[in-house]
Amino acid sequence: MKLGACWYPEQHPESRWGDDVRRMSAAGLTLVRLGEFAWAALEPAPGEMDLAWLARAIDMAAEAGLGVVLGTPSAAPPRWLIRSHPEIRLVDVDGSPRAAGSRRMTCPTAPVYRESSARMARALVERFGHHPGVVAWQIDNEPGNHDSARCWCPACETAFRAWVAARYGELARLNDAWGTAFWSGQYGSWDELELPRRSSTVQSPSLLLAHRRFASHQVVSGLAEQRAIIAAGSAGRDILVNTYWDDTFVDARDVHEPAGIAAIDAYPHGVDGPEANAYLLDLARGSAGPSGRAWVMEQQPGPINWTALNPPVPPGQVRAWGWQAALHGMEASLFFSWRPTRSGQEQYHSGLVRHDGTDDRGLIEAAVLARELRAVADSAPEMLARPRARIAILHAYEDAWAIEIDPHQAGLTHRSLVQPVHAAVHRLGLDADILGPRDDLTGHTVVIAPALHLMSEDRLRRLREAIAAGALVILGPRSLVKDLDDCWLETPLPGGLAATLGAHVVESLSQTLPVTVVPGDAAAGPWTDVLEVDVADDDPEPVEVLARYGGPSYLAGSIAALRRGDLAYVGASSAEAWSTILAPLLIGRGLAVLPARVGVERFERGGRRIVLDHVALTIKGSPELDPGAA
């Protein structure tokens, strides 16, 4: 894994630049990202490009031996552009346009914004597309972040109407698909189809889901315009887009897959602990498509400024985060940022060096990490090659949107259902690949779909293909419950697979009772499905009950998990319940289960076992990794 830093020469005096890049290089960093917020410095007035300073910065970085990742600045357009074309401002649901002075305040549909972004990309690629120091590109910055994919402006409303009309054709079909008879919601003409504005209570989930799809599509198509421009003028370089790792504003798979490489921004203090980090790193790899290539484009270097508490980062933590990224198969990791600024919105955000330019602990640990990674790359490169896992976990942004729209329990998210399954697999000492709805599922021994909420013929076909190829398929609670328009199925659940399962779901519960899973006594988790068997005991393919619910409630003794042949259903949702139920199933499929303590990750890489302890902040398992040797 290569290391780098995010660098903002336009925010610091030029007299510092040379020293900055030489120190990066001396610390063992080999990549530097720049430019992604510099639009106003690059185009200070309409039609007036100033690329000379950027050329000097790129040259200096290249001379210091750094590979430059050049960003296109569409996340932060200049004030003059917003002033002369106020229609490019994003309009929030309450009707107020976002003001200049921040970032991600633009409408993803606005033609002037899209054309201006394309113009900047063209100017940059014409000048730097063949620069030997430019090794990769970054388009935009965290598209969708700050809830910037959905816009309620007139241009978006017109585009949304056209998008829906193209998808459904006939109004009658739309009314039927969305079940608009509920609360007199029928559309009598296309003009009546409005963006989901605030009303007395929530809008139709079908409309809301369509709006999420449309918003994501608008963002992705804008990124594709920039990508085409860069690809045409800078052959042979990766073109990445950095998404915030936990965002669901856009379908990150649609963002990354066309490039065959993903990039995420990893801020562990923004999520809940090492298991979340592990999950999100694997999700990044999975969202690149079959290549599984991913970078961490921004890595937390120390305390940050935007969570509720912004806690301290203890010694050893930055190095441990780096190792975690490397062992999850990231190709590069760039720290955000090199040096904090004296001004602006992020003054409390640490960097690798301090405000006064002296080395911060982040830089010292980055240098240790760089040395260790180099040593491993020389002596045992196979340790950093992420092997294909034998377990696949299914993830889909459309399911995430449907669950966010109608969670049934406040705060419940797709991640809170899928991450526990990833954690359970990891706690059993195994890796998991996270695959998307378009991926081929036939290459894994076990395929788990923890929250495959929406049902489609295509999804069913892929699951059946996995079973036909010899995999065990395991569904989780609320799987195959609704159609692609977010309307509940009127067939036995799991929709389309109940007959194969020989069982069906009788209760889908937002769980508030003290329910456990037996065997064991793990809490069942926030979502629990109760199952009932449909086939007789003497059926040629009988149903095996794997677990029942326990605890002092009416649910005691009812079925929590079962299996019939190569299809299983787990109704519980906590990591502990999943671990208990999964262990025998995985052993039954020939997987070497080796339970690890929570807080410890174990990796089998190149015939070695590496243990990353997130509590003690140690990495053990091979001489090269001994902290003392570094």
Contact positions vs ligand GAL (CB under 6 A): 141-142, 244, 265, 267, 298, 304, 306, 336, 346, 349
142, 365, 372, 601: which is the annotated catalytic residue? 142
10, 298, 331, 365: which is the annotated catalytic residue? 298
**Ramachandran bin of 289, using left for φ above 0, alpha for ψ from -120 to 50, beta for the remaining angles:** left
The nearest distance, CB 336 to ligand GAL, in angstroms, is 5
Look at the chain and count its residues: 630
Of all residues in the shown chain, the one whose CB is closest to ligand GAL is 142
The nearest distance, CB 550 to ligand GAL, in angstroms, is 43
The nearest distance, CB 346 to ligand GAL, in angstroms, is 6
The nearest distance, CB 118 to ligand GAL, in angstroms, is 21
The nearest distance, CB 480 to ligand GAL, in angstroms, is 34
The nearest distance, CB 255 to ligand GAL, in angstroms, is 14
Which residue lies nearer to ligand GAL by CB, 302 or 494? 302
Which residue lies nearer to ligand GAL by CB, 137 or 160? 137
Paired tokens of 166: 């193209």
How far is 180 from 189, CA to CA, in rounded Å? 13
How far is 6 from 12, CA to CA, in rounded Å? 13
Cα three-residue angle 423-425-430, rounded to 5 degrees: 120
Which residue lies nearer to ligand GAL by CB, 96 or 347? 347
Which residue lies nearer to ligand GAL by CB, 349 or 548? 349
Query: Nearest CA to 362 among 441, 303, 450, 421?
Result: 303
What is the DSSP-derived secondary structure letter of residue 429?
Answer: T
Which residue lies nearer to ligand GAL by CB, 210 or 276? 276
Residue with tokens 């896992």: 389
Residue with tokens 């995010």: 6
β-bridge partners, 522: 517
First to last CA, the chain: 17
298 is catalytic: yes
Which residue lies nearer to ligand GAL by CB, 11 or 445? 11
Residues sharing a CB contact under 8 Å with residue 126, sequence separation 6 or more, in sequence order: 233
β-bridge partners, 239: 137
Burial (CB count <10 Å: 0-12, 13-18, 19+), residue 534: middle
How far is 452 from 396, CA to CA, in rounded Å? 8
Which residue lies nearer to ligand GAL by CB, 346 or 604? 346
Rg (CA), the chain: 25
331 is catalytic: no
In 234-360, which residue ranges form alpha helices assigned H by DSSP? 252-256, 274-286, 317-327
Q: Are 328 and 278 in contact (CB under 8 A)?
A: yes
Beta carbons within 10 angstroms of residue 566's beta carbon? 19
Q: How far is the CA of 343 from the CAs of 309, 346, 347, in angstroms?
A: 21, 8, 6
Beta carbons within 10 angstroms of residue 341's beta carbon? 15
Which residue lies nearer to ligand GAL by CB, 57 or 394? 57
β-bridge partners, 296: 264, 333
**Ramachandran bin of 152, using left for φ above 0, alpha for ψ from -120 to 50, beta for the remaining angles:** alpha
Burial (CB count <10 Å: 0-12, 13-18, 19+), residue 542: middle
Q: Are 481 and 449 in contact (CB under 8 A)?
A: no
SS3 content of the chain, % helix, strand, coil (to 5): 35, 20, 45
The nearest distance, CB 230 to ligand GAL, in angstroms, is 19
Question: Mapping DSSP to helix (H, G, I), strand (E, B) and coil, where does residue 550 land?
Answer: strand
Which residue lies nearer to ligand GAL by CB, 306 or 488? 306
The residues annotated as belonging to the active site are: 142, 298
